[in-house]
Amino acid sequence: MCGRMTMTHPSDAMARLFDAAPSNDLPEVPRYNICPTQAVAVVTADGGSRRLRPMRWGFLPHWYKTPTDGPLLINARAETIAEKPAFRAACRERRCLVPVTGFYEWTKGEDGARLPWYFTPADGSPLVLAGVWQDWSRGEDAFTTLAIVTTAASPWMAETHHREPVSLAPEDWAKWLGEEGHGAATLMQAAPEGRYARWRVDPRVNSNRAQGPELIEPIAA
């Protein structure tokens, strides 16, 4: 799965990278512990032009009467995304790119403690995750929400967790956004070997209130 993320790349650099017009209300960076329900900057393709815009992490299906009317859908499984009522329309019509610096996964210690690991591209480049999004509103409440697409983990990733977020290479961005016709389903694969570096980090990141660059500093495993 993907349950916490980091973003340290400047928003203006991301706008240039994706050739996207940036919104003026993007979340501030750097961020070292992005949690569900918080705003995330994503790239969408609207009428032939790209936008870098904020969305609430935690997909809200249109039938939810309140934001807490059902489970918080932070991830969408690649294997069933085209069939699940919550995601099937978004999978066809509303796909987005989610640029981040890295993400966290957890293993369990011998005493049952949650041990966090940090994953980031081994070459230091921005990590671009596949997402789907949905507008949701009830009365005065209105959100644009997203979920990260996940798939079965590669053998290397499975040493830490059995799922991983779908990451997209630059040559695949346009296809995922729907700018190059059909074929997005073929992109929902595990990352190739060597894509990520990983290391253990301080359990302080287990708290959604923790912040700061020290959260991604390596510690002894």
The enclosing H or E element of 63 equals none
Please tell me the predicted confidence (pLDDT) of residue 109. Answer: 84
Domains present along the chain, CATH in parentheses: 5-216 (3.90.1680.10)
User: Amino acid identity of 64?
Assistant: Y
**Residue 96: closest CA among 190, 179, 196:** 179
Please tell me the predicted confidence (pLDDT) of residue 1. Answer: 65
Q: Is 24 left (phi over 0), alpha (psi -120 to 50) or beta?
A: alpha
Spatial distance between the Cα atoms of 32 and 213, rounded to a whole number of angstroms:
6
Q: What is the residue-level pLDDT of the chain in tens, covering all 221 positions?
A: 679 999 999 999 999 999 999 999 999 999 999 999 999 999 999 888 999 999 999 999 999 999 999 999 999 999 999 999 999 999 999 999 999 999 999 998 888 889 999 999 999 999 999 999 999 999 889 999 999 999 999 999 999 999 999 999 999 999 999 998 889 999 999 999 999 999 999 999 999 999 999 999 999 87
Please tell me the predicted confidence (pLDDT) of residue 207. Answer: 93
Spatial distance between the Cα atoms of 131 and 148, rounded to a whole number of angstroms:
5
Please tell me the predicted confidence (pLDDT) of residue 46. Answer: 84
Q: Is 46 exposed, middle or buried (0-12, 13-18, 19+ CB in 10 A)?
A: exposed
| CB-based contact 205:33 (threshold 8 Å) | yes
One DSSP character per residue, 6-41 reads EE-S-HHHHHHHHTEEEPTTPPPS-EEEE-TTSEEE
Burial 165-201 (b: 16+ CB within 10 A, else e): bbbbeeebbebbbbeeeeebeebbebbeeebbebeeb
Please tell me the predicted confidence (pLDDT) of residue 19. Answer: 97
Strand partners, 115: 107
